[in-house]
A and B are shown apart, each in its own frame.
Chain A
């Protein structure tokens, strides 16, 4: 049961955004800018970074929903998501994405653990300044989202089908449009 009375039965961050739309708006706009707006990283890749960090933080709701969004966006290559969550070193992904996931994993632990060598490695495989910036901020933002969702003990559905449906909506509508739906529900 959530630590506070949310007056709604929406799961995870959706229940919190409905409870406090003033902060929900900034959070969903941040997610929209980072995960959906124009970028040389695909939307599937960015959702995967979020799911990877959430999985390291053992946040069931964020891992389940963002992994589902990433699977949806990867389409025929959906199995890549589960490979990364199982063992990133063995996953069939580009060397660039692997290097970015190493950076994201370090940010999840502690910002200061990201070394010049980690950044140089990502650049060697073609990562741009903007891709490095966005990877760090996506990983940092999920370090927030995960703590927010679990720190208030929000509801995380047990049924995988619930996440599949959420992932499909996230992939189709992004976050800005999702928010107006949640607030106006």
Chain B
């Protein structure tokens, strides 16, 4: 059960965001700029970084949700599971692989990122701002994951709930209202 009272039918981060709209606003603005704003990384690539880090943090809600958003952008659900399993073997660009390596280091701890990790990304054509955004996306998901799991929020088992919200976020971004979903029948 969620550690604080949240509205019925609001899975994951939606519960605490409804509980405290003052902090939800900058959180959603951050997600919007990082995942939907203008960037030379595609929206699908940025969501892959988010779901990859969430999976490393074993945050079921965020990993599944942002996996669904990435799948929607990429038109391909298979690549998400491949990235979860082994990004080096996934059908993604060499540049994205180096960025995921940096994201994985950030998940462990910021100081784990080495000059060599950054040089490898630059050698594959990553720009400074792409490296900046990769680090901040990875860091932001380390926050979102802890927020969602630290309050023991509801992570539905039903994949269709994630597909529904994932499609909404892929198409509308992160600033449109959150609508409740039906809780599982018990």
Contact = CB atoms under 8 A, between A and B. Distances in A.
B132 A33 contact: no
B25 interface: yes
A65 interface: no
Nearest to A31: B26
Chain A interface mostly helix, strand, loop or mixed? helix
A151 B135 contact: yes
B5 A136 contact: no
B96 interface: no
Contact of B150 (A26, A37, A139, A153): A139
A68 B118 CA distance: 32
Chain B interface mostly helix, strand, loop or mixed? helix
A143 B53 CA distance: 13
Contacts of B4: 129, 132-133
A130 interface: yes
A43 B186 CA distance: 43
Interface in B138-155: 138-140, 142-152
B58 A112 contact: yes
A33 B30 CA distance: 14
B106 interface: yes
A136 B57 contact: no
A63 interface: no
B16 A151 contact: no
B37 interface: yes
Given A112-B58, A139-B146, A147 B139 contact: yes
A149 B110 contact: yes
A34 B152 CA distance: 20
B142 A119 contact: no
A30 B150 contact: no
B178 interface: no
B22 A4 contact: no
A72 interface: no
A41 to B, nearest CB: 13
A151 B139 contact: yes
Interface of B: 1, 3-5, 16, 19-20, 22-23, 25-27, 29-30, 33-34, 37, 57-59, 102, 105-107, 109-111, 113, 115, 118, 128-129, 131-133, 135-136, 138-140, 142-152
Given A26-B26, A103-B150, 20 more contacts: A3-B113, A22-B33, A26-B27, A30-B26, A30-B27, A57-B109, A59-B110, A106-B150, A111-B147, A111-B151, A114-B150, A129-B19, A133-B16, A141-B143, A143-B139, A147-B107, A150-B113, A151-B110, A151-B135, A152-B131
10 contacts: A19-B132, A22-B37, A23-B133, A130-B20, A133-B19, A137-B23, A140-B146, A147-B142, A152-B110, A152-B113
Q: Which 10 A-B pairs give the minimum distances between C-beta atoms?
A: A150-B110, A111-B149, A144-B143, A111-B150, A140-B146, A151-B110, A26-B30, A147-B139, A4-B128, A30-B26
